[in-house]
Amino acid sequence: MRATQMIRWIPLLGLLFATPAFAEGMWGLGLWTGAGVAFGPDGKPTSSFTVELTRTAVGSNTVQLKGTAKLANGDEKAIDQKSTYDGNRFQIESSRGHGSGVCLGEGICTSYEDHGNGQGVATTIVIDAPDKMRILMTELDQGQTIRFIRQSLTRKP
What domains, with CATH codes, occur in the chain?
3-155 (2.40.128.20)
Q: What is the pLDDT of residue 25?
A: 59
Amino acid letter, residue 130: P
Whether residue 9 is predicted with pLDDT greater than 90 in this model: the reply is no
Q: How confident is the model at residue 18 (pLDDT cuts 50, 70, 90)?
A: very low
Identify the CA nearest to 104 among candidates 94, 89, 118, 115: 89
Q: 72: which residues sit within 8 A by CB, 6+ positions away? A: 47, 48, 49
Whether residue 5 is predicted with pLDDT greater than 70 in this model: the reply is no
pTM: 0.83
Amino acid letter, residue 54: T
* pLDDT mean across residues, the chain: 86
